[in-house]
Structure 1
Amino acid sequence: MSDNLIERISSALESEYTLEGLVRQLLEMLELVTNMESTYLTRIEPEGDFQHILFSRNTKSMQIPEGLSVPWGDTLCKRALDEGRRYTCDVASIWGDSEAAKALGIMTYVSTPVTLVDGSLYGTLCAASSENRELSERSEQVLQLFAQLIAQQIQNEQLLKKLQEANAALTAVSLTDELTELPNRRAVFETLPALFDRAADKANYVLVAFADLDDFKQINDVYGHETGDDFLYAIGQRLKAGAAEGEILGRVGGDEFIVAGEGPSGFDDAQLAAEAFKTRLRNLLTGQYKLHSCTLDYAGPSIGAIAINPALVNPDQALHEADQAMYLDKKQRRTKTS
């Protein structure tokens, strides 16, 4: 193997971070080494029904198009694997029953399996020509090396995908309240700034509601903490079901919940929207709850709902004002029932 080829392989491995980028460089090198018209990488479906051309390089008259799919049983690749024959310069005589080979005009064909570390067959790395081409031992060595490099890249990408999925799952867990399955306090505080920015760009107000579950301690004391947890979960489900598109909601404390959304632009309209917001949430959370151990007729939470100008008030200040409004509402509710 020439020093120039080794340098090109090293450069490709250092510069390419995706399967496609690496394969395209290797196909170009494979064409030069084998003197074939077409070089290509295939993917075999796990079920073994079809073989797909993932990436190909065509420099002369014969064209093996990317995206081409053929029945796996009709492919030269399957015949080569079954018979242990990786190369032939007389496809018509040896595998004349392959309709795919006839349609593509393949006379010379060489392939090697791309096998992953667990032994599974990913696909094949191939080179083909419409003319008679001799395959040197050096060319066969390069083909096998390239198949190994591609398999390694595939495994690296699969590992990276698994790590990304695991990281996303961990992130989701860290931002979710385990009991209610709502976003937790951290998630709320991370998403509110974006809502404020969008509203500020459109000169709209932001509606923020802070809800505290009145008599929740009594529910725990009378029915037990398991029923209390069941009730909190039911509250979360009602909030999810009743939330408008784009609204932020979450559990920020033991029995405290926040809902926030974009409001109208005018001051008067925004104040009316805040009252309607409060009424909607009150109606949503008040009423009968059929829990696992009992049925509760809940009189509803104390709610503080405000409309704020996001150009003048930040999320922390808005939550503080909504919290104060909630305590005022709680005081008024107690006065009415006393």
Structure 2
Amino acid sequence: MTENLIERLSTVLESEKTLEGFVRQLLEMLELVTEMESTYLTRIDADGIQQQILFSRNSKEMQIPEGLTVPWEDTLCKRALDEGRPFNRDVPGTWGDSQAAKQLGITTYISTPVMLGEGDLYGTLCAASSQSHPLSPRAEQVLQLFAELIGQYIHKEQLLQQLQEANAALTAVSFTDELTSLPNRRAVFEQLPKLFSRACADSRYVLVAFADLDGFKQINDRYGHEAGDAFLKSIAQRLRQQATSDEVLGRLGGDEFIMAMAGPEIYDQAIDAAGAFKARLAALLSGEYQLESCFIDYAGASIGVIVANPAIATPDMAVRAADAVMYEDKKRRRASH
């Protein structure tokens, strides 16, 4: 039986990809080794107040229900830990005041703590029976081994989750403009192909707007770089409030910003939409900016808006085209002043 147990345990370690699947396999093997009616894994909450039955296996009349939550102070598990008595084959005679033991009909009980890598108590791995049973040294060893394996499995999962969270945070930072908290150039060129793909699938044009903040150098020279940074943040806030979740918005660097969206299906309508888009952005970015250190009555930005056919144009081509149209707008604005 030992060889069969080792072989099955090796298979479980290789095949099971979830904590539940892993534990349920171990509970079944634990039942065979201990000859107990019920085997189960508990978890103690972070505050050490409640204990919950996470997973259980019940092969006979005794039923240890999954999801059962009881005060940790009243559990057999805590008594076993406090008294250094992991095995008890006369629960009624020893712990006769335990209401949980009475209700569940527990006579023989064994448990061992499940510890995590940092030495923290996660919960307990237990086996129980309504009959009085001896416990062989081999069964005790298997119980302790399984508890160690479960602790290592959980610890590994926690480390993996922490790694994923750290990676997500690192990715978010690498895709975010530090000053304005808008998506940066890298994020924009990550999102644009997805927008173009969706628009192409829907047979819609794409509107791409490129904005360059006229007079930004003069703002920096006159009011200082802190005021310039505050101005950029205010610009970003206005753009963020205007953009929808389906639109691509970002700061390409310096005083350059981009916004893109899916447009109408018909070209003439897309041209009209591009004109309305430019007018909306022009009105949005111009006007009064009350910063902490100064007040700016801003004349506005140079804006280029183009209509791109996603079936033909690439995002890079569209951005370059919008940039070129923006410079034409800048020339006109300079000529008119």
TM-score w.r.t. length of structure 1: 0.94
Cα pair distance change 1:307/1:65, threshold 3 Å: farther
Partner of 2:336: 336
State the shift of 1:176 in Å: 1.0
Supply the distance in 2 between the matched residues of 1:144 and 1:103 (Cα, whole angstroms).
27
State the shift of 1:18 in Å: 3.2
- Long gaps (5+) in structure 2: none
Answer yes or no: is 1:199 the counterpart of 2:199.
yes
Note the alpha carbon deviations across 1:147-193, whole angstroms, 9 max, x for none: 11111111111111111111111111111111111111111001111
Cα pair distance change 1:103/1:281, threshold 3 Å: farther
Note the alpha carbon deviations across 1:30-51, whole angstroms, 9 max, x for none: 1110011211111100112211
Partner of 1:10: 10
Partner of 1:255: 255
Answer yes or no: is 1:106 the counterpart of 2:106.
yes
Supply the distance in 1 between the matched residues of 2:66 and 2:144 (Cα, whole angstroms).
22
State the shift of 1:112 in Å: 0.5
Note the alpha carbon deviations across 1:85-126, whole angstroms, 9 max, x for none: 112222222223222223322222111011223222110001
Partner of 2:322: 322
Q: Which moved more, 1:260-269 or 1:1-10?
A: 1-10
Supply the distance in 1 between the matched residues of 2:97 and 2:207 (Cα, whole angstroms).
71
Partner of 2:266: 266
Supply the distance in 1 between the matched residues of 2:245 and 2:272 (Cα, whole angstroms).
19
Supply the distance in 2 between the matched residues of 1:203 and 1:67 (Cα, whole angstroms).
51
State the shift of 1:324 in Å: 1.6
Residue identity (%): 68
State the shift of 1:256 in Å: 0.5
Q: Which moved more, 1:113-122 or 1:90-99?
A: 90-99
Partner of 1:148: 148
Partner of 1:286: 286
Q: Which moved more, 1:95-104 or 1:275-284?
A: 95-104
Cα pair distance change 1:137/1:234, threshold 3 Å: same
State the shift of 1:146 in Å: 0.9
Supply the distance in 2 between the matched residues of 1:304 and 1:105 (Cα, whole angstroms).
78
User: Which runs of 4 or more aligned residues in structure 1 lie more than 3 Å from their structure 2 counterparts after TM superposition?
Assistant: none
Supply the distance in 1 between the matched residues of 2:45 and 2:99 (Cα, whole angstroms).
19
Answer yes or no: is 1:84 the counterpart of 2:84.
yes
Q: Residue 36 of structure 1 aligns to a residue in which SS?
A: coil
Task: Return the letter of the residue paired with 2:116.
Answer: L
Partner of 2:170: 170
Note the alpha carbon deviations across 1:43-83, whole angstroms, 9 max, x for none: 10011221111122222222222222222222211221122
Q: Which moved more, 1:265-274 or 1:170-179?
A: 265-274
Partner of 2:213: 213
Partner of 1:75: 75
Supply the distance in 1 between the matched residues of 2:193 and 2:250 (Cα, whole angstroms).
15
Partner of 1:26: 26
Q: Residue 269 of structure 2 aligns to a residue in which SS?
A: helix
Note the alpha carbon deviations across 1:249-274, whole angstroms, 9 max, x for none: 11112110001112222222222221
Note the alpha carbon deviations across 1:183-240, whole angstroms, 9 max, x for none: 1111100111111111111112212110000011111222222221221122112211
Partner of 2:277: 277
Task: Return the letter of the residue paired with 1:79.
Answer: R
Task: Return the letter of the residue paired with 2:25.
Answer: Q
Supply the distance in 2 between the matched residues of 1:143 and 1:154 (Cα, whole angstroms).
17
Q: Which moved more, 1:250-259 or 1:222-231?
A: 222-231
Q: Which moved more, 1:179-188 or 1:282-291?
A: 282-291
Q: Residue 181 of structure 2 aligns to a residue in which SS?
A: coil
Task: Return the letter of the residue paired with 1:283.
Answer: A
Supply the distance in 2 between the matched residues of 1:106 and 1:172 (Cα, whole angstroms).
52
Supply the distance in 2 between the matched residues of 1:70 and 1:122 (Cα, whole angstroms).
15
Task: Return the letter of the residue paired with 1:263.
Answer: G
Supply the distance in 1 between the matched residues of 2:225 and 2:295 (Cα, whole angstroms).
15
Supply the distance in 1 between the matched residues of 2:28 and 2:273 (Cα, whole angstroms).
64
Partner of 2:42: 42
Supply the distance in 2 between the matched residues of 1:98 and 1:311 (Cα, whole angstroms).
73
Partner of 1:307: 307
State the shift of 1:134 in Å: 1.8
Aligned residues: 337
Supply the distance in 1 between the matched residues of 2:257 and 2:138 (Cα, whole angstroms).
69
Note the alpha carbon deviations across 1:9-39, whole angstroms, 9 max, x for none: 2232233343223212211111110011211
State the shift of 1:336 in Å: 2.2
Supply the distance in 2 between the matched residues of 1:97 and 1:204 (Cα, whole angstroms).
73
